[in-house]
Copies of this chain bind each other. A is one copy, B any other.
């Protein structure tokens, strides 16, 4: 497996472009193939998700995606559905493809009518920019940003020659209950939509769903995976799954790192759980806890808050077996071992200070009850999170 730097345009058969002249942005990705999608579990579902889920359900194929930022087209009733369908037909007409082959996605403010005229007025500019190059990729990634501070993209090439690449957008990472997460992932492998569906669900569970807390999904969350088959290669399914998980975890970590107002990435690594479900509960509780997040912002190794989060996570836990360490990937400092607090000598405290000052803080919790593991990602809670979210619509 090796890294490619052209994002989704590393994948054979994919063209992309996008514009973001102001609050509104528009991205188009053109690539035909078998496809699968994962959608929000929120009971309030935005119009574009309803339209895209219908389209995917018909034939498990996509030829293109049209996505706008600046307006979520959520809670917009019949008018919203009509606007989402209109976005689809604007693109399907220009491409000369069936409307069931076009996916639509939106992200932005909820409850406001979509400015469909703006989409109509700008679609030709985006269409004329479509290109299979790193520029196409990065313009598309930028066009779907809202409060994101950098575009999110990644790509790899598997040993078998197949590429997997994608772009994503996120935000609102303190507890991402409404910072819409969009992911558009492509591969040039030849795979059926059923196989893609299984692989996507598994990989999403170990990546995006470990940033976006279970159930706390936005009205607009959507991840699409399309396989152009342009290489003609049907890869070994385990190799493909591993590659897909790598791509989605990379995008998920970029989303966590760019949480609103974030200054640091937090990775929770949980080992020794009775089940993977339990490991996930603990990992998520840690990266979700505002008290842990605030402590990391303050470079404060307040491990008591980590222990408390593990304790209320719902997972099986025995405090006499618990171990806990902080790491930055280079140094690791063990603070608790088998329920006992380890002594804090000077060298220990110096290392800990260096770790707490790192851009990526890894919190390692060992439960010593079983053999299941999980990772979750989040970011610190900062003054800027409050500023951004108290001024969003006004």
Q: Which 10 A-B pairs have the closest CB atoms?
A: A298-B390, A110-B304, A44-B311, A294-B389, A42-B311, A111-B304, A43-B311, A297-B390, A294-B390, A43-B317
- Name the distance in Å between A173's Cβ and chain B's nearest Cβ: 10
Q: Within the complex, what minimum Cβ distance (angstroms) separates A164 from chain B?
A: 29
CB distance from A54 to the nearest CB of B (A): 17
**A109 closest partner in B (C-beta):** B304
A232 within 8 A of B: no
- For window 140-199 of chain A, which residues contact chain B by CB distance below 8 Å? 172, 174-175, 177-178
* Nearest residue, chain B, Cβ from A302: B393
Selected interface stretch from A9-17, A90-98, A241-249, A380-388: A380-388
Inter-chain CA distance A110–B301, complex, in Å, is 12
- Which residue of the partner chain B has the closest CB to A213? B312
A394 within 8 A of B: yes
Identify A290's interface contact among B42, B174, B218, B336, CB under 8 A: B174
Mark each residue of chain A from 358 to 392: 1 if its CB lies under 8 Å from any CB of chain B, else 0.
00000000000000000000000111011111111
Give the distance in Å from the alpha carbon of A56 to the alpha carbon of B210 in the complex. 41
- Report the bound CA distance from A305 to B75 in whole Å: 11
A75→B216 contact, CB < 8 A: no
Please measure, in the bound complex, the distance between the C-alpha atom of A75 and the C-alpha atom of B319, giving whole angstroms.
8
**Inter-chain pairs besides A77-B340, A295-B389, 19 sampled, C-beta below 8 Å:** A43-B312, A44-B310, A44-B319, A109-B304, A110-B305, A178-B289, A178-B304, A215-B312, A217-B312, A219-B307, A290-B389, A294-B390, A294-B392, A297-B386, A298-B391, A298-B392, A300-B391, A302-B392, A381-B386
A237 at the interface (CB under 8 A from B): no
Scan A330-370; emit 1 where CB is below 8 A from any B CB, else 0.
00000010011100000000000000000000000000000
